[in-house]
Chain A
Amino acid sequence: DSGVTQTPKHLITATGQRVTLRCSPRSGDLSVYWYQQSLDQGLQFLIQYYNGEERAKGNILERFSAQQFPDLHSELNLSSLELGDSALYFCASSVGTLIRGINEQFFGPGTRLTVL
């Protein structure tokens, strides 16, 4: 158990819908990262927040957005869902941000999103 929790574990929805994925970081961790893992694209970095502020953006679509709340939990919002958005979505947390590319991220168990 990494100490990072994600809900829901599974989510099935239809194209065009909007969903919210939730992540609670490990106690004491200020950074939250969101990743998408699909069979054809592998593990792709989406976005990072540090203590409530956006710090880095990866391959995140405009239909996706995220935020980190004062209690440090984070939500990833996915809208106008398409079939291709079906994937595992992971949240990871770390104490701080990357320093010279070094940091230890602890991953949650993921949310499996299926878009029908």
Chain B
Amino acid sequence: TQLLEQSPQFLSIQEGENLTVYCNSSSVFSSLQWYRQEPGEGPVLLVTVVTGGEVKKLKRLTFQFGDARKDSSLHITAAQPGDTGLYLCAGGRDTGNQFYFGTGTSLTVIP
């Protein structure tokens, strides 16, 4: 059983469209990270959020940490083919030395 559930699992959209990916849990996390993974490569960190309600922007990507620190969202504006990949959220806790990765969202942006 995954602590972090992502939705949707698969997403295929046209270039220029907007999209939102959700990462939900019933558990509280002290930090939430988002990664992007391309085929044949390891995940690459996009952002870390640590405060409930925090919003961070990275060019066309907007990340939000839920007020209760149990969920997060990733919004992409005007998606481009280069955004194609597997998006993973990962939660960290005050105790322990591991991240709990989400189930993943596979995004395909069609030119």
Using a CB–CB cutoff of 8 Å, the interface residues on chain A facing chain B are 2, 4, 33, 35, 42-45, 48, 50, 55-56, 58, 90, 92, 97-98, 100-110
Contact-residue size bin, chain B (C-beta under 8 Å from the other chain): 20 to 34
Q: Shortest Cβ distance from A89 into chain B, in angstroms?
A: 10
Inter-chain contact count A-B, CB under 8 Å?
72
B95 vs chain A, min Cβ distance (A): 9
Q: A42-B104, A90-B42 are in contact. Are A98 and B98 (CB under 8 A)?
A: yes
Residues of chain B having any CB pair with chain A under 8 Å? 2, 29-31, 40-45, 48, 50, 88, 91-94, 96-104
Given contacts A43-B88, A56-B96, A98-B96, A104 and B104 within 8 Å (CB-CB): no
Contact assessment for B2 and A97 in the assembled complex, using a CB-CB cutoff below 8 Å? no
- In the complex, the answer to whether B101 meets A103 with C-beta atoms within 8 Å is no
Q: Return the contact of B45 from the options A44, A45, A97, A105 (Cβ within 8 A).
A: A105
Interface SS of chain B: loop
In the complex where A2-B42, A43-B88 touch, is A105 in contact with B94 (Cβ < 8 A)? no
* Complex Cα gap A69–B108 (Å): 40
Determine the residue in chain B with the shortest Cβ distance to A58. Answer: B98
How far does the alpha carbon of A48 sit from the alpha carbon of B96 in the complex, in Å? 11
